[in-house]
Structure 1
Amino acid sequence: MISTFNLTKLNSLLKDFFTITQIRITVFDETFRELASFPEQIAPICQLLRTDEKADMECRRCDAIACETAARQRTSYTYRCHAGLTESIAPLYMGNLIIGYLLFGHVFSYSSHEEGWTIISDLCRSYQVDQEQLKQACWERPLISENYIDSASHILQAVASYLCLERMAILGQKELPVLIDEYIMEHYTEDIDVRTICEHFKIGKTSLYEIADQNYGTGIAAHIRSLRIEKAKSLLTAHPEMNISEIASACGFNDYNYFITIFKRMTQMSPKQYRQTSRKDFL
């Protein structure tokens, strides 16, 4: 775990979110471990489903997949869970590192209880739970509109940003993933690769690959290429006086042709085309 949360402030913020939205909210760390929630008790429909081992496993798998999706998107992600309830999740980022997730869930987002029960009963037919109890639990859930969920999701994203801004979630500065991220951000325009990073931190490639996959969702080389291309895009727009070969070099690409190839692959246009398009948009 690379994050430390101020649980007193965090619990107060979760309570405020629930007071406004009447939707349960939970915070997970970067390993998908639940840290806090408000209210603490999950909805009766979820309590019932989690008495079934298969349903409980599906619930945890669904949460993990949603976390990974939100991390890739770097913004809130709203989806319908395996049991037919609507949830939304927002990643917590500090720099390029994912340090946790905020999730609200157990939302019954249907036009009627009849419609919701038809879908949920079909999705949950293989679970060993009392169908009459499940039906009753569905009828007890308030009907929540899509517009309401969209608004709550926007608030969730704002809460995630506030958490990081107020540093309620603070990175453990001596943790290896943090040090590696700082090192990459300082040197990504230089001649660095997996080997040089491993040598600098005295770690093996396997350890580095695991850290990269968990924190970036991709390999180290791909992450460095992405940072370089983002810098190239910025220079192409902000510095029309620089020629493309100068920009390639400034971003850490020693091979001009390789830079052109990677840029096209990642943006679907050449650097020259990108500059022309971005300048038009800017003007």
Structure 2
Amino acid sequence: MRELDMDEVRLRQLLDSFYKVTGLRVGIYDRMGSERMACPRRAQPFCDMVRCHARGLAACRECDARAVERACLSRQPQVYACHAGLSEAVVPIMQADECIAYLMLGQARSDAAGDVRAELKRRCAYVDDLDALERAYLRIPQYPAEYIGACALMLGACASYIRSNALVDELGESLPARFMALVRSAYTDELTLDEMARRLHVGRTTLCRQVTRQYGMGPHALLTQYRLESACHLLANSACPIGQVAARVGIADVNYFCKLFRREFALTPGQYRRQFGQLARS
């Protein structure tokens, strides 16, 4: 996993200033979703009450992940409502067409009217102490949607400042290297271009451009090549039926697998096994 190199002193000053101006908690997170720094350090007690339950924690992570994905793909701030109904925003920090980290602000109550208790019971049914949850909720600052949107735009300016002043950098493997690591570890999965881009937290265009520039082949061609090379190993070293070999390398359609294999090696899978397999040599 790639590590973030952060200018912690200047970042702390920036986050502190943002909080003093807006009154909203702001944090910086790495691409895996780990909080690296925040002001104030503690989240809202309401959030702690929600996240101490497995269902609440999973729901928080899911809605945050969706927002981060949209922000990274669009390279724009994303304002959204979390599963518990609070307003939040996320802004990507880009480096060489990649989202290497992101800023997140929240939480705030919206100015929408309604039965707070009934809404909390509907959204957070897994919390037993509804009275305590409601008290914690009502202590969260309330702002109109326009204010949250304006703060998100300010946070976007902060992200640009962070990159232009190199307050955050990412060390470690490049995107093409991470792509190949993904192929090696997950080639048996159903990996569409969209899915590979999602797992790597980049856009499809960025993934294709950088991988092709590095290897002279696109992501799908490299994935197919790796699958076929893995199939060669299975054919030569096992007695698995051809259909099972295809499935084990991530190609569900055996006819399509045979077509790809013959086009790549000028042999059918069966011919390859007879010519190179250990069983043929024994």
Shorter-chain TM-score range: 0.5 to 0.7
Secondary structure (helix, strand or coil) at the match of 1:216 reads coil
Seen in structure 2, the aligned counterparts of structure 1 residues 92 and 226 have a Cα distance that, compared at 3 Å, is farther
Supply the AA of the counterpart residue of 1:91. Answer: P
Worse overlay, 55-64 or 143-152: 55-64
Correspondence for 2:139: 140
Alignment of 1:118-157 (within 5 A): 118-125=118-125, 127-157=126-156
Per the TM alignment, residue 204 of structure 1 is displaced from its structure 2 partner at its CA by 8.8
Do the aligned partners of 1:66 and 1:77 also contact (CA within 8 Å) in 2?
A: yes
- Work out whether residues 81 and 88 of structure 2, in 8 Å CA contact, stay in contact via their aligned partners in 1: yes
Task: Give the secondary structure class of the aligned counterpart of 2:204.
Answer: coil
- Displacement after TM superposition at 1:143 (Å): 1.7
> Equivalent residue of 1:176, what SS?
coil
Q: Identity over aligned residues, as a percent?
A: 25
Deviates more, 1:89-98 or 1:209-218: 209-218
> What is residue 17 of structure 2 aligned with on the other side?
16
| Equivalent residue letter for 2:106 | G
- CA deviation string 1:136-181 (max 9, x = no partner): 1122222211111111111111111111011001232xx3316769
- Specify the alignment match of 1:216 in structure 2: 202
TM-score (norm 1): 0.63
Letter in 2 for 1:5: M
Q: Is the 8 A contact 1:25 1:37 kept in 2?
A: yes
Structure 2 partner of 1:37: 38
Contact 2:176/2:211 (<8 A) preserved: no
Residue in structure 2 matched with residue 177 of structure 1 by the alignment: 174
Correspondence for 2:96: 95
- Which protein shows a greater Rg? 2
Q: String of CA shifts for 1:221-273, please: whole Å, max 9, x gaps.
A: 7446999xxxxxxxxxxxxxxxxxxxxxxxxxxxxxxxxxxxxxxxxxxxxxx
Q: 1:136 to 1:34 in 2, by over 3 A?
A: same
Q: Secondary structure at the match of 1:128?
A: coil
Q: Which residue of 2 aligns with 1:56?
A: 57
Contact 1:32/1:67 (<8 A) preserved:
no
2:175–2:211 CA contact under 8 A, matched in 1: no
**Length, aligned pairs only:** 204
Match of 1:82 in 2: 83
Local SS of the residue matching 2:14 = helix
Cross-structure match for 1:265: none
Specify whether residues 205 and 118 from structure 1 end up closer, same or farther in structure 2 by C-alpha distance, changes over 3 A only: closer
**Secondary structure, aligned partner of 1:170:** strand
Unaligned runs of 5+ in 2: 214-282
Amino acid at match of 2:184: T
- 1:166 to 1:129, Cα distance in 2 relative to 1, 3 A: farther
For the residue of structure 2 that corresponds to 1:42, the secondary structure is coil
Asked if structure 2 preserves the Cα contact closer than 8 Å seen for 1:51 and 1:129, the reply is no
TM-score, normalising length: structure 2: 0.64
SS at match of 1:142: coil
The amino acid that maps onto 2:130 is: Q
The residue identity in structure 1 corresponding to 2:122 is: D
